[in-house]
Amino acid sequence: MMARVSQEIIERVRDASDILDVVSKYVDLKKRGQNYFGLCPFHNEKTPSFSVAPAKEIFHCFGCGTGGSTIDFIMEYEKIGFVEAVQRLGEQYGIEVQLTQAKGGKELFSNLYKLHEMAMTLYHKNLFSEKGKSVLSYLSDRGLEKEILEQFKIGLAHETWNELLTLAKKKKMSNETLEKTGLFLKTEKGTFDRFRNRIMFPIFNTAGRVIAFGGRALDPEDPAKYLNSPETPLYRKRDIFYGLHSARQPIREHGYAIFVEGYMDFLQLFQAGIQNVIALSGTALTERHALQIRKFTHRVVLAYDGDSAGIDASVRAGYLLLRFGIEPGIVQIPDGMDPDDWVRKSGADELKEAVDKAVPVLLFHIQTKDAKSLPSVQRSEFIKDVVSQISGVSDGIIRDDLLKSLAQEMRVEESDLLKNMNSQKQRNLKEPIPASSRESNEIPLTSKVQKAQVILV
C-alpha cells in the first residue's frame, strides 16, 4: 500500500497555506484588479498570462491552461507527487505531515463540513423566524443591521435539547460524524445539542467554509457567556482568526490588520467600513496565529478591550508579535469600553483616528504601567521583564531599536540593558526549555520537571 497523508493533515495544510505566498516565491507577480499576474512558469511567454486569484485560492494560466490549487502548483512546478507536495507545504507552514498506511477519512471530512453547513443554515433561519424576533431586535438595538447578519450568517440556537440532533438524524449522519463535529454533548442520558439558547456566530476557515461556532448566551444568568466549539478535526483554535476569510483582501490592501477580541467588535467594525479587521475566536493570541497573519502583513494594530484585562492581553500579544518580526501598535480604547461600544457611541471616525495613532507596544507598556514613576525596586523588575521580552525578538535590528527606546524612556544606560539581556540569556541556556512546552498556550513546566527531563534526555 502506498504511503498516504490523512485527510485531516491535508485540510490543515490547505488551510494554512496561502496561494499568493506560495506562488510569489517562484513567480514575480503584479497586482491587477483583484488578481495577480506574472510570466507563466509552465510555458514560454513574453507577456504575462499566468494569474493568481487569492480570493479563490487558485492559479490559472490563460496561455497554456494549467491551473489549480496551491498543492497543484507545487506538484507541477517541482515535478513531485501529491504526498510530497503536501509535505513541502507542511514544512513551510510548520505543520508536521505524518504518513500513514491507513485509508484517509475523506468521507468523514465531507460529512463534518456538511453537518456544520446544515447547522449554520438552521440557526440562521431561526434568527429570522417568528421565534427569533426578540433576538433580532436585540441585535438591531446593538447596531447590527440585517446585511451584516446575513453576510456572516449570524444565527440563533433555540432553547431545545435536540433541534439540530433531530435534523442530523433525519439526514442520516453517522454517530461518528455527530461525535466528531463537537456540535453535540454525549452524556449518560444520551446525546444533546451543545448550543442552546444562544446567538450563534459561525466560524469560517480561510477558504470560507464553516468549521465551528461561537455562541453567546441569551440568558444573562448563564455562567458561560460565550461557548465555543471544542477542538475537532476541522477546528483548531490556535490557528483560526474569526473573519479572516473576509478580511484578508482588505488587510493586503491596507497593509495592516486590526485585531479585536470579540465577535461583536468584529461585526461592528466591519459594518462601519473598517474591514481589515479580525477577531481572536475565544482564545489568546498564539505563535500559530502570528505565523498565519505574517502571510498577509507585517503590521498589526491591536484594538483590545479598554479594561485592565484587555490592556494586559494586548501587551502580551504585542511582544509575541514582535518576536515574529511583526510590528504591533496598540490602540487605547477610552473608559474601559470595548471597540464595539466605542463605535456605537462615537462612530467609526474616532476609532480610525486612534488606529492611525496607535502606540508602539513598548511605549504603551510603559505608559499603562506608569513605569517611569515606579519605586526603584519595582522599576528594576519592570525593566528586567521588558528586557526578557525583547531578548526573544530574533530580528537584530528590531531588538536594538527596542533596547534603545527602553534605555531612553526609562533613563538607563543601554549598555546596562545589554549586559542584563546577555546574563538572562546565559541563565536560559543553562536551563533549556523542552520543545513540548514552547507553545505559548501551554503551561510551562516547572523548573524541577524541566531539569528532570533534561537529565532523562
Stretch that binds Zn ion, among 34-42, 117-125, 156-164, 174-182 (CB under 5 A): 34-42
CB of 267 to Zn ion, least distance (A): 41
Q: Binding of Zn ion at residue 449 (CB under 5 A)? A: no
Judged by CB under 5 A, the residue of 4, 21, 24, 42 near Zn ion is 42
Is 65 or 223 the residue whose CB approaches Zn ion more closely? Answer: 65
Residue closer to Zn ion (CB basis): 63 or 105: 63
Shortest reach from residue 23's CB to Zn ion, in Å: 13
Instruction: Indicate which single residue of 16, 40, 136, 139 sits in contact with Zn ion (rule: CB under 5 A).
Output: 40
Q: Which is nearer to Zn ion, 51 or 111 (CB)?
A: 51
Of the chain, the end-to-end C-alpha distance in Å amounts to 35
Q: Which string of x and - marks every residue 372-411 that binds Zn ion (by CB under 5 A)?
A: ----------------------------------------
User: Which residues in 60-99 contact Zn ion (CB under 5 A)?
Assistant: 61, 63-64
Is the CB of residue 15 less than 8 Å from the CB of residue 22?
no
Does 452 participate in binding Zn ion (rule CB under 5 A)?
no
Please identify, among the stretches 53-61, 279-287, 388-396, 418-426, the one whose residues bind Zn ion according to the rule CB under 5 A.
Answer: 53-61
Between 46 and 430, name the residue whose CB sits nearer to Zn ion: 46
For the bound state, the minimum distance from the C-beta of residue 295 to Zn ion, rounded and expressed in Å, comes to: 25
Is 131 among the residues that bind Zn ion (CB under 5 A)? no
Using the minimum distance from each CB to Zn ion, give the nearer residue, 60 or 352. Answer: 60
Taking CB under 5 A as the binding criterion, the range among 39-47, 134-142, 262-270, 339-347 that sits at the site for Zn ion is 39-47
**What are the b/e assignments for 322-348, b being 16+ CB within 10 Å?**
bbbebbbbbbbbeeebbbbbbbbeeeb
Q: How far is the CB of 51 from Zn ion (least distance, A)?
A: 10
Q: Does 26 bind Zn ion (CB under 5 A)?
A: no
The correct pick among 43, 169, 419, 427 for binding Zn ion (CB under 5 A) is: 43
* β-sheet with 257-260: strand ranges across: 241-242, 277-280, 257-260, 299-302, 327-330, 359-360
- Bridge partners of 200, per DSSP, are 155, 215
Of the candidates 253, 352, 252, 234, the one whose C-alpha atom is nearest the C-alpha of residue 294 is: 252
Number of residues that bind Zn ion (CB under 5 A): 6
Minimum gap (Å) between residue 257 Cβ and Zn ion: 33
Min CB(92)–Zn ion separation in Å: 24
Which of 207, 128, 120, 200 lies closest to 159 in space, CA to CA?
200
Binding segment toward Zn ion, per CB under 5 A, in 43-51, 234-242, 410-418, 420-428? 43-51
Using CA atoms, how far apart are residues 308 and 186, in angstroms rounded to an integer? Answer: 37
Give the residue with the Cβ less far from Zn ion, 8 or 45: 45
Give me the residue label for grid cell 501598535: 329
Burial pattern 96-108, b for ≥16 Cβ within 10 A else e, equals ebeeeeeeebeeb
Judged by the rule CB under 5 A, the positions of this chain that interact with Zn ion are 40, 42-43, 61, 63-64
